[in-house]
Protein backbone atom coordinates (compact mmCIF):
# COMPACT_ATOMS: atom_id res chain seq x y z
CA UNK A 1 0.00 0.00 0.00
CA UNK A 2 1.59 3.32 -1.03
CA UNK A 3 1.90 5.92 1.71
CA UNK A 4 1.74 9.63 0.87
CA UNK A 5 2.56 11.86 3.83
CA UNK A 6 0.83 15.25 3.87
CA UNK A 7 2.18 17.31 6.75
CA UNK A 8 2.78 20.78 8.09
CA UNK A 9 6.36 19.78 8.94
CA UNK A 10 8.54 20.98 6.09
CA UNK A 11 12.12 20.56 7.27
CA UNK A 12 14.58 18.36 5.40
CA UNK A 13 14.99 16.25 8.55
CA UNK A 14 11.24 15.55 8.71
CA UNK A 15 11.17 14.57 5.04
CA UNK A 16 14.23 12.34 5.37
CA UNK A 17 12.83 10.66 8.49
CA UNK A 18 9.50 9.99 6.79
CA UNK A 19 11.13 8.59 3.66
CA UNK A 20 13.48 6.43 5.76
CA UNK A 21 10.51 4.96 7.61
CA UNK A 22 8.95 3.79 4.40
CA UNK A 23 6.65 6.43 2.99
CA UNK A 24 6.49 6.71 -0.78
CA UNK A 25 5.96 10.46 -1.13
CA UNK A 26 6.19 13.47 1.18
CA UNK A 27 4.16 16.63 0.63
CA UNK A 28 4.43 19.70 2.86
CA UNK A 29 1.30 21.78 3.39
CA UNK A 30 -0.17 23.75 1.81
CA UNK A 31 -0.57 21.25 -1.02
CA UNK A 32 -2.53 22.46 -4.04
CA UNK A 33 -5.29 19.95 -4.88
CA UNK A 34 -3.87 19.46 -8.38
CA UNK A 35 -0.50 18.43 -6.92
CA UNK A 36 -2.10 15.95 -4.55
CA UNK A 37 -4.09 14.41 -7.40
CA UNK A 38 -0.90 14.10 -9.49
CA UNK A 39 0.86 12.27 -6.67
CA UNK A 40 -2.06 9.91 -6.06
CA UNK A 41 -2.24 9.10 -9.78
CA UNK A 42 1.40 7.93 -9.67
CA UNK A 43 0.36 5.06 -7.42
CA UNK A 44 -2.94 4.10 -9.04
CA UNK A 45 -2.83 1.14 -11.40
CA UNK A 46 -4.41 2.75 -14.46
Query: What's the whole-model pTM score?
Result: 0.83
Pairing of strands 4-7, 25-28: parallel
Give 28's Cβ-side CA count (13 Å radius).
8
Q: How far apart are CA 18 and CA 3, in angstroms?
A: 10
Classify residue 7: in a domain, yes or no.
Answer: yes
Q: What is the pLDDT of residue 45?
A: 82
Q: Is residue 39 part of a domain?
A: no
* pLDDT digits 0-9 by tens, 1-46: 999 999 999 999 999 999 999 999 999 999 999 999 999 999 998 7
Total domain count, the chain? 1
Distance CA 30, CA 10 (A): 10
Residue 46 belongs to a domain: no
- Domain assignment of residue 21, yes or no: yes
User: Within the chain, where are the H helices?
Assistant: 12-20, 33-43
Amino acid sequence: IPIIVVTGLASAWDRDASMASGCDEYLAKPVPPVRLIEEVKKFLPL
